A and B are shown apart, each in its own frame.
Chain A
Amino acid sequence: MSHVTIDGREYEFEGPQSLLQFCLDHEIELPHFCYHPSMSVPANCRQCLVDIGAPVRDRETGEIRLDEQGKPVIQYFPKLQTSCSHIISDGQVVHTARSSKKVEEAQRDTLEFLLINHPLDCPICDQAGHCPLQIQAYKYGPEGSRFEFRKVHKPKKVKLGPRVVLDAERCINCTRCVRFTDEISGSGQLTIIERGVKNYPITPPGGSFDEPYSMNVIDLCPVGALTSVDFRFQARIWEMASTPSITTTNAKGSNCDLWVRDNLVLRITPRANPEVNEFWLPDEDRLTYHRFNENRPLGPSLHGETESASWDSSLQRVTEILKNSGTQTVFIASAYATVEDNWMLIQLAEAVGGQVAGYISHIEPGHGDGWLRTDDRTPNAQGCERLGLAPIDFPLWQARIESGEFQAIYILEDDPVASELCSIESLEDIQVILHYYSTTNQTLPTADVALPAAMVAETIGTYVNESGRAQRVVPAKVIKGMNRTLMMQMGLSRADRHGTPFDRWHNESHYIDCKPSWEIIPILLKALGAKTGPLGPRKIMRLISDTIPAFKGATYGAMDLSGVALPAIETEVIS
């Protein structure tokens, strides 16, 4: 085991690693801009300079020379070293700004330089509030500036591509964005042009920054130089609450944060998880937040009634339908819904005596790219498989539904009309019960009872991604009728933490009148006189993990926020 002394404290380390990464891992703060753990080290911002010394070795014997007190003689590098590019070795002594005046001055000087041509338009900058330059300038920077000249002017509002805007004046030339396109996404769509203080990143002439991962550079940018076309000027960072979640656009289950203000999801950013998506998120995953806010149902509704019905009357109607249809009921599970929802559906099908047809598979061949996008456009096909549900055999079930075999069809959070499992005509003589997210659902016009279901941003539940990783989500926004204070895991904005009770989520028109399916189905079970089983997703999941081997270990405690890998199962190859 090797040792390194940082600010007088000794740390152990093993294997070659960069000093900056070592410090970050050990929560020793070092200011930096250009360094990113997954990209090459250019050491160009010069912010992470530290003073490094190494023990002097005797030229002949190779032994460490000791002073009178028996301590190793330390010889310091003549120049300050960038900690990002420095590989630590045994016995080295490091002084950061906390223990070296020289380092403190160097870091202050670099910040003074960085700020002289920076526009300092923090009051209108999207990055303000979570801006590394702003934070580090306050912490390590000079008190004022000695610069008394016109700042360098560079292009502003440059639309690099359909989703990313550049403000070149804010750019500090850390080249993170360029390195991302070179080393991570491989598109090579960005480069630095001009020279010296006029430098800025841009696409080659005639090019457009339109790769499917372009928006990652917005998160990488340590200042507000790269902003999102979509989110630009929409909200200040401190007005929003962020809640860890996962994306449901595809079967990868990339980890993300949902940013919510006034109960509206305003943006989605990646959340680091080395096992799933590292630091990245495809653009399509980020731009799907509108569906949490727009075209949402106003409440449960009964066929032919324009006014929304009450939950009580709607569920009573469902109970009547199920009682009548009994074994002539077909249940359709959903790869969009959580494991808990699907499991509850199976319980309901058993109580009624109906059949579960399986889940509708949504494969879009060619959509996947072997990275963070998959052919499967649903988040939980793997979870359904593990519950013993199979993808619906379309020709078979189309024929069975059209034959009039069933009196009722119970659809969990999906859209069989849009996926062409059944036509509106074929459903006319069947009682349709639909759990749905959005008013654009094409099955909705034929639904006899339509029950709004909570989406990933509103529910608690578990999804299993394509590689068998179970990940649970917590609600990011409030729905009608949910006691928010019980949802301890929801993110808090500054107003939530420090404001008065009246600051919170005050606009009630943004509360969606929906319920998680795991909450709806037990009410039906009770009304049907069947056993309701465990109540609440945590208990449901504990039961599932105890009884179904494919979910072994998938308890809420084990999954926490980074998920847990489930034992491998043999699944049919989804074609």
Chain B
Amino acid sequence: MAVMTKAGDWKSYQRVLLPPVKNLHQLHVYREHGGYETLKKVLTEMEPQDVTAEMKRSSLRGRGGAGFPTGLKWSFMPPVKPDVPRYLCCNADESEPGTFKDRQLREYNPHVLFEGSLVAGDGMSLKACYLYVRGEYADWITHMQKELANAYDSKLVGKNMLGTKHNMDIIIHKGAGAYICGEETSLMESLEGKRAYPRIKPPFPAQSGIWKCPTTINNVETLACAPLILGRGADWFASIGAEKNPGPLLYGISGHVNRPGVYEYPTGMLITDLLEIAGGMRGGKKLKALIPGGASVPVLRADMIEGVTMDIESLREAGSMLGTAGMLFLDEDTDMVAFLRRVAHFYHHESCGQCTPCREGTGWMENLITRIDDGEGNLRDLDLLLDLCDQMEGRTVCALADAAAWPVRNTIKRFREDFERRCRPAVWAVNA
């Protein structure tokens, strides 16, 4: 039973997010290739509600991991009140292991991100956009700041953009490098200068966001899609890739493949096709496991990826998630215990420590997995690990506890033999 790819004729796909144009990051090159034309069209010809309606019609789903419909999110913004400013946050705090797609956009096509923010600004009548960039990306921050200054100089951002009456600012904010700042509510806390503890929802950011003002938070890639949708039309966008989850998608392929990197293709690509694009497994080894969307999503065994396509529906059926489409291919030599140890260490290190289950549970998990990896583990430790997953999941303010529990639960469930082999036997042989 071979399921066909949902990406259609992907071999002749023309890249749109990262088009093959030299020096596209420079403002004049970007403009020569039609850059900021969409913004002009939106500012002069379109009403804000039409922008949001067009976004809704495109069926774009957020690229930050949760896959929430973007147009719907934009429409959650309350009616405009004259004395209440409204904000956009661009979440560029990308820091999950296995996810590195936004970095390419920031490096090679920053203006599409600026244009996307401004388009969103018009659609939601915003005052400013905060670009929250992970601090470790220091080089790209200077790079983007330079380009942003050029855009300001060309009157594309700021007061009276493109000679219209519209005003909007873009502020690049450097994060201090905590994974938790990628969670939307703690990102806002961090922007406000506070400790990045996630907030309780409700109230949702659209009601009470930065400085208690209506706020929308979008991923870099999501915002980069906005100028494409409004420039070429929602129908064009919806026709690309998988029906329910359409559009161009940046696949960050890493692991034991011959040509790791960021690849732009439509959504709904067959995993096997993507593996082929990335040059197949290194050294002709066999595939053992795949993490399809960043370290937090459930791992898939090699026998589970047959006919699975890279879109939200298909991956859910297969028992995983699309996440950020940061695909990590692991070959047959991979030690799944060591792999999980590293993942558990990451979540232990990055837990903000606000809620009890996550603060205490992530550390305990790492302790247990480390013990198993060191050959000191017991079989009962595996059941305890699964228990801890139950104790953490769904009991915290934000989803970090869930993100820490899923890989542990699924790696143990799907590779139990690997773990059992490393544990001390439950019954010891008695010497006769």
Contact = CB atoms under 8 A, between A and B. Distances in A.
Contact of A44 (B348, B364, B397): B397
B391 A196 contact: no
Interface in B351-405: 351-357, 359-364, 367, 371, 384, 390-391, 394-397
A326 to B, nearest CB: 72
A16 to B, nearest CB: 13
B394 A80 contact: yes
A106 B349 CA distance: 24
A153 B391 CA distance: 24
B357 A46 contact: yes
A250 interface: no
Question: Which of A80, A113, A192 has its CB near the most chain B CB atoms (within 10 A)?
Answer: A113
Contacts of A78: 394
A45 B361 CA distance: 13
B350 A196 contact: yes
A45 B355 CA distance: 6
B195 interface: yes
Given A43-B397, A110-B395, A195 B197 contact: no
Interface string A337-369: 000000000000000000000000000000000
B396 A198 contact: no
A85 B198 CA distance: 14
B395 A106 contact: yes
Contact of A196 (B195, B351, B384): B351
A263 B325 CA distance: 71
B384 A198 contact: no
Question: Which of B363, B371, B396 has its CB near the most chain A CB atoms (within 10 A)?
Answer: B363
Contacts of B364: 113, 116, 147, 149
Contacts, number: 92
A147 B362 CA distance: 13
Contacts of B367: 149
A113 B362 CA distance: 10
B348 A196 contact: yes
B90 interface: no
Nearest to A49: B395
A196 B200 contact: no
A191 B360 contact: no
A194 B384 CA distance: 28
A80 B395 contact: yes
Nearest to A85: B200
Contacts of A42: 197, 200, 354
A196 B356 contact: no
Given A41-B200, A43-B200, A196 B349 contact: yes
Contact of B355 (A44, A116, A198): A44
Nearest to A197: B363
Nearest to B384: A146
B353 A197 contact: yes
Interface string B108-145: 00000000000000000000000000000000000000
A109 B353 contact: no
Given A113-B361, A116-B364, A199-B359, A191 B195 contact: yes
Interface in A554-571: none
Nearest to B347: A196
Interface string A25-61: 0000000000000000111111101000000000000
Place the interface of chain A in its size category.
35 or more
Interface in A55-114: 78-80, 82, 85, 106, 109-110, 112-114
A199 B348 CA distance: 13
B178 interface: yes
A196 B357 contact: no
A195 B396 contact: no
A197 B360 contact: yes
Nearest to A86: B200
A165 interface: no
Contacts of A173: 353-354, 356, 359
Contacts of A113: 356-357, 359-361, 364, 391
A116 B360 contact: yes
A47 B356 contact: yes
Interface of A is mostly: loop
A480 B119 CA distance: 84
A172 interface: yes
A152 B354 CA distance: 16
A117 B360 contact: yes
Contacts of B348: 196-197
Given A44-B355, A106-B395, A196 B197 contact: no
Given A43-B397, A149-B367, A195 B352 contact: yes
A76 B2 CA distance: 40
Interface string A298-326: 00000000000000000000000000000
Question: Which of B350, B359, B367, B397 has its CB near the most chain A CB atoms (within 10 A)?
Answer: B359
A109 B397 CA distance: 16
Interface string A513-555: 0000000000000000000000000000000000000000000
Contacts of B391: 106, 109-110, 112-113
A147 B360 CA distance: 11
Nearest to B401: A46
A46 B360 contact: no
Contacts of B195: 191-192
Contacts of A149: 364, 367, 371
A109 B394 CA distance: 13
B303 to A, nearest CB: 31
A250 to B, nearest CB: 35
Contact of A46 (B352, B353, B362, B395): B395
Contacts of B353: 173, 192, 194-199
Contacts of A80: 394-395
A192 B357 CA distance: 18
B169 to A, nearest CB: 29
B208 to A, nearest CB: 13
Contacts of B390: 109
Question: Which of A80, A82, A117, A195 has its CB near the most chain B CB atoms (within 10 A)?
Answer: A195
A110 B356 contact: yes
Interface string A147-160: 10100100000000
B356 A195 contact: no
B393 to A, nearest CB: 9
Contacts of A49: 395
A44 to B, nearest CB: 5
B267 to A, nearest CB: 27
B354 A110 contact: no
Nearest to B348: A196
A146 B350 CA distance: 24
Interface string B197-233: 1001000000000000000000000000000000000
Contacts of A110: 356-357, 391, 395
A43 B352 CA distance: 14
A42 B356 CA distance: 12
Contacts of A195: 178, 349-353
Question: Which of A42, A78, A194, A198 has its CB near the most chain B CB atoms (within 10 A)?
Answer: A42
A-B pairs with the 10 shortest C-beta distances?
A: A113-B360, A199-B353, A109-B391, A196-B351, A196-B353, A149-B367, A79-B394, A197-B363, A44-B354, A46-B356
Interface of B: 178, 195, 197, 200, 348-357, 359-364, 367, 371, 384, 390-391, 394-397
22 contacts: A42-B354, A44-B354, A49-B395, A79-B395, A106-B391, A106-B395, A109-B357, A110-B391, A110-B395, A113-B361, A114-B360, A116-B360, A116-B364, A147-B364, A173-B353, A173-B354, A173-B359, A191-B195, A192-B195, A192-B353, A194-B353, A195-B352
Interface of A: 41-47, 49, 78-80, 82, 85, 106, 109-110, 112-114, 116-117, 146-147, 149, 152, 172-173, 191-192, 194-199
Given A42-B197, A82-B200, A149-B367, 18 more contacts: A44-B356, A46-B355, A46-B356, A106-B391, A109-B391, A110-B356, A110-B357, A112-B391, A146-B384, A147-B364, A149-B364, A149-B371, A152-B363, A172-B356, A196-B348, A196-B353, A197-B353, A197-B359
